[in-house]
Amino acid sequence: MNLPMKVRIKEVGPRDGLQNEKMFIETKDKVQWIDLLSKTGLDYIEVTSFVHPKWIPQLADSGEVLKSIKRETGVTYAALVPNIKGLERALEVNVDEVSVFMSASEGHNKSNINKTIDETFPILKEVVNEAKKAKVSVRGYVSTVIACPYDGPVTPEQVLKVVEKLAEMGVSEISLGDTIGVGVPTQVEQLLTVLLKYYPANLFAMHFHDTRGTALANIVKSLELGITTFDSSTGGLGGCPYAKGASGNVSTEDLLYLLSEMNIETGINMDALMEAAFFIEGKIGKKLPSKQMEIARNERSAKIDNARTI
């Protein structure tokens, strides 16, 4: 297997994770969580989004969050923006990078941002142009790259059409989202084989939701094909409220375990990451799906049982 020596993990839990939780996590707790994440060795954290607060009330405090976090040198603090209004709000609080987003399928694009695909291109182009004027880099997301919860299967050619437009606009990276976590490695291979005919592997990041437990298998396939950037969420939080059936992103701890056992460097410290994961689990008040957290919970209760029997 031809594998990279180093991989970059982009933590999207504070945005993708919290947007899909029913409860509103208090601003001070979001800030404390992000501050813990900043001490893990992660060099990229998507901290929030500047979408319409009626659409995602869980992140209505995005400006306060960005203003209140302790920024560590070397960490990029990014936010999702859907349009110029979102960009202006993000620039006011000195975001380091913004992410624009749209879908490869009409059904999800309409449900998520209330526009057709063709109506979305000029809106994102304006964001990219204005962000660049403000010297802020822009990442692009393409959602539903394998299938759409409304339209069904999505072809690599549909994804290519959106990738071409985003690349033309000049985004620095394109994150390909399996939004509802249906993909398997053979489909990932079909998709990347088409895209990599036209673009270098380092233009892409992969963003797998783990709804059916296939995210890590898809990541291994992507690694084999030369991809070296992956999005993940602490604890396996995540999901898009406008994509029925979407559950959490691949968990950052499980991804870190996989990569470190494969001797692929990430610069991230597992103990610090677990501290951040248990912190946010405590605030959310329910068990998060990460396997590494489950192992740690079981080890803890085994220790307590042992102590009781001694």
Stretch that binds ligand HMG, among 76-84, 131-139, 256-264, 287-295 (CB under 6 A): 76-84
177 binds ligand HMG (CB under 6 A): yes
Q: Is 211 in the site for ligand HMG (CB under 6 A)?
A: no
Binding status of residue 32 toward ligand HMG by CB under 6 A:
no
- Binds 297, which of ligand HMG, Mg ion, none (CB < 5 to 8 A, cut-off by type)? none
Measuring CA to CA, which residue among 50, 47, 55 is closest to residue 25? Answer: 47
Q: Does 101 bind ligand HMG (CB under 6 A)?
A: yes
56 binds, among Mg ion, ligand HMG, none (CB under 5 to 8 A by kind): ligand HMG
Candidates 40, 58, 83, 252; binder of ligand HMG (CB under 6 A) is 83
Give min distance, CB of 280 to ligand HMG, in A. 18
Of the pair 101, 278, the CB lying nearest ligand HMG is at 101
Lookup result for tokens 């489909």: 187
Q: Which does 127 bind (CB under 5 to 8 A by kind): Mg ion, ligand HMG, none?
A: none
Q: Which of 79, 191, 216, 240 is catalytic?
A: 240
Residue 85 contact among ligand HMG, Mg ion, none, beta carbon within 5 to 8 Å by kind: ligand HMG
Instruction: Kindly state whether residue 44 participates in binding ligand HMG, applying the rule CB under 6 A.
Output: no
Residue 179 found at the interface with ligand HMG (CB under 6 A): yes
Residue with tokens 């001797």: 263
- Least Cα distance to 38 among 265, 280, 293, 272 occurs for 272
Crossing angle (nearest 10°) for helices 117-133 and 156-169: 30
Q: Are strands 44-49 and 173-178 parallel, antiparallel or unpaired?
A: unpaired
Residue 18 DSSP class: G
Going by the DSSP 8-state scheme, the letter that residue 39 receives in this structure is T
Task: Give the DSSP letter of residue 100.
Answer: E
Nearest-angstrom CA–CA distance, 145 and 149: 11
The nearest distance, CB 24 to Mg ion, in angstroms, is: 19
- Asked about 148 being catalytic, the answer comes back as no
Name the strand (E) or helix (H) holding 193: helix 185-198
- Name the minimum Å distance from CB 229 to ligand HMG: 14
Chain centroid to Cα 261, Å, comes to 22
Residue 52 touching ligand HMG (CB under 6 A): yes
The DSSP bridge partners found for residue 175 are 141, 205
Residues involved in catalysis: 240
